[in-house]
Amino acid sequence: MRTTNMTRIAATAAVVALAAAGCGSKSTASSGPTGSSSSTGTSASSASTSSSGGSASNANFQACMVTDTGGIDDRSFNASAWKGMQDAQSDGKAKVKYVQSATENDYVTNITSLEAQNCNLIVTVGGLMADATDSQAAAKPGQNFAIVDNGAADSKTNKPVPNVHGMEFNTAQGGFLAGYLAAASSKSGVVATWGGLNIPPVTIYMDGFWEGVQYYNTAKSKSVKVLGWDETNPSSGTFSNSFTDTNKGKSITDGFINQGADIVFPVAGGAGRGATASAKGGKAKVIWVDTDGCVSDNEDCSVFLASVTKGIENAVKKTVEDAAAGNFKGGTQDILDLSSGGTDLVYGATLGSSIPSGLQTEITNLKSQITSGAIKIKSPSQPK
């Protein structure tokens, strides 16, 4: 349900504003992670647009995207959504473009700018964009929207919005596998996780991770400690209050390493690269989120034990292509999990070889038990 998520999101709006301001504005000339072809500023201080060209596309269908404040090259959820848009174009189903948001104050402005560009579908990225998406959907009932990390119900009335399609992901399941892996792999008996913001799309990962460690401790009669998060006491969690501040991410991770943590799970978009900086030199191993870290952040692959992936790329691609084919599903949401490719655990290309085959077999069995319902994850942030 969207009301629970949005209540917590609204409570952090002021924090987001401060965090975004602290990180500064982004350049107005940036390109997509796979080489978007052109870029022109749409706002002198806050946003940029880019079209991706070079392949045959459906000239009659224009799909447009608004990033969250992490930017198009966050190596995380914005980059994944943009890749899904580009994949739809490569399939010849649409032409695509994006506009970047430097702060949450850009959301409505950026959406409005795309409405004026005759976009057939506007994809907004991140649950923090829900209010802006809802307000614009109400103002423009003939404009179709899709949103990543949120449902299709209005945050105030909880009624389905007929021109909004939601994409939600039960990453608590992938996080659970990561927690079990971390607990089983830790030499110190101390692991850690921290987030960008205290919002459901972040804490869902952290809940799963925490539960996975607890499950390992019970199954193996161990006492691996989790720093930075306790699902039963969320007010004590550790957050950088930013998805871009790598310095804060490094400071948090350094503190956890100093407390003995040898595996760290940052759930903070680009700010998580502060954790990879801390981990280098053998100080710790990192489990990445959203994307396969060894693909999206190859230069840091040497510290990635694994990644908890989130099926944003395929979900966005399918949503765009369905809409282009006349099958837009307004007022509904897709809830994707382990069984449908919405999340998974992917071992690191380098460090993955150090994971014993017996442990890999245990994790494969855990996947089956989660998908069958034999293991029930309790995270309150799970989509319903």
Q: Domain segments of the chain: what residues? A: 2-169+313-336, 171-310+350-372
Rounded Cα distance between 242 and 207, Å, is: 19
The CATH homologous superfamily to which domain 171-310+350-372 belongs is: Response regulator (3.40.50.2300)
Would you say the CATH fold of 171-310+350-372 matches that of 2-169+313-336?
yes
Neighbours of 232 (CB within 10 A): 8
pLDDT in tens, 262-290: 999 999 999 999 999 999 999 999 999 99
Q: Which of 63-77, 310-324, 348-362 has the lowest mean pLDDT?
A: 63-77
| pLDDT tens for each residue of 210-243 | 999 999 999 999 999 999 999 999 999 999 999 9
Correct CATH for 2-169+313-336 of 1.10.3720.10, 2.60.120.260, 3.30.1450.10, 3.40.50.2300: 3.40.50.2300
Q: Identify the helix (H) or strand (E) that includes residue 274.
A: helix 273-279
**Mind listing the pLDDT tens digit for each residue in 146-195?**
999 999 998 888 899 999 999 999 999 999 999 999 999 999 999 999 99
Q: Report how far residue 71's alpha carbon sits from residue 79's, in angstroms, rounded to the nearest whole number.
A: 8
Q: What pLDDT does residue 361 have? A: 98
> Is there a contact between 120 and 62 (Cβ–Cβ < 8 Å)?
yes
Percent of the chain with pLDDT over 90: 81
pLDDT in tens, 341-371: 999 999 999 999 999 999 999 999 999 999 9
